[in-house]
Amino acid sequence: MAITLTNFICPSTKRLRLPFKPSGKIAVVDGDLLVFRACVTAAQKLDLTEDDKPLEEARRVETVNAEQARTYFRDNLANAVRGNEFCVVCLSHHTNWRKRMFPVYKANRTGEKPLGLGPMRRWVMENYYSLVMPELEADDLLGLLSTHPEFGERTVIISDDKDMQTLPGLHRKLSNLSETTIVARWEAELQHLYQTLVGDACDGYKGAVGVGPKKAEAMLAPFREAGAGFDREKAWGVVEKAFLKAGQDQQDALDNARMAKILWWDEVTFNADCDPEIRLFRQDKQVCGESGVGEVQSGVRCVRADEGSTGF
């Protein structure tokens, strides 16, 4: 359902808010994932042939059954969101601050997207409370809403994306709706450092070369044992040391940490035109701000791109 973007910005704090006040839990849903799956599920192969050609020589054309895609989305969303939860569907904008700053980010995603993504996104935005903000990915919107100081604790993140483990709070997987898990803030912080170390091939950043999941877990094990009181400065030192040992440098460690970092509420402000100013993760001091994730660097203003075609 269409809601003016400026209604989502608090005039006093210049940060994200909800223009309404749900009384119960708030389900923030990874709309990108659901829309993608809906279009893939509804894809159909059509055989086009002429009367004088055998069927095996037919030209195969892919199309999408729009009603089937909508039914998939509607049914799966209804199953994911419980009756007393207010639902907000989060979708990525066609501009992306990470891609602007880091050309390698998702540069490897050169394959064709499923047909129908654009029309399906528009249908979702017309029929559900949806949020799309310039330069931000759906992941960032999930992060901003779930760490909000007023209603973050009442938020349930609904996604199958492993990166969601870098966000504190309640989680429900689309693939396992019967179970709701809790990620503590310190666990989210350490998961971000883990993601920095191992990288993400799907998103195009490689992490510390030669550091896989087992090695990364071993490096961070002492900090996990320490729990909420773990030494954040020492933990970052371990991460940085791994990059240096791999023949990379401190900037590589920082760049990977910034690409891996899903934004939290206190890391983004907006101007009157809804342009975001993103405060970047810093390596020098690791405790700062309400998020507790790390000191962030201000002054990174993303250039506004007009809302319009999603590029699909």
**51 pLDDT band (50/70/90 cuts)?**
low
44-53, 60-69, 166-175: range with highest mean pLDDT: 166-175
Average pLDDT score over residue span 49-71: 66
The DSSP call for residue 240 is H
What pLDDT, in 10s, does the model give residues 188-221?
A: 999 999 999 999 999 999 999 999 999 999 999 9
What pLDDT, in 10s, does the model give residues 74-126?
A: 999 999 999 889 999 999 999 999 999 999 999 988 877 888 899 999 999 99
Residue 51 C-beta-side C-alpha neighbours within 13 Å = 0
Average pLDDT score over residue span 268-293: 68
Choose between 54 and 243: higher pLDDT: 243
The DSSP call for residue 129 is -
Q: How far apart are CA 70 and CA 120, in angstroms?
A: 7
Q: How far apart are CA 10 and CA 31, in angstroms?
A: 23
Q: What is the pLDDT of residue 290?
A: 38
145 to each of 134, 263, 298, how far by Cα in Å?
A: 16, 10, 20
How many CB atoms sit inside 10 A of residue 210's CB?
Answer: 11
CB-neighbour burial class of residue 228 (10 A; exposed 0-12, middle 13-18, buried 19+): exposed
How many CB atoms sit inside 10 A of residue 211's CB?
Answer: 22
138 to each of 129, 135, 145, 288, 305, how far by Cα in Å?
A: 14, 10, 11, 24, 17
Domain ranges for the chain? 5-15+23-301
293 to each of 38, 120, 140, 165, 214, how far by Cα in Å?
A: 34, 35, 14, 13, 23
Q: What is the pLDDT of residue 46?
A: 61
pTM of the prediction? 0.85
* Two structure tokens written together for 128: 């559900």
Q: Is the dihedral of CA 289, 290, 296, 298 positive or negative?
A: negative
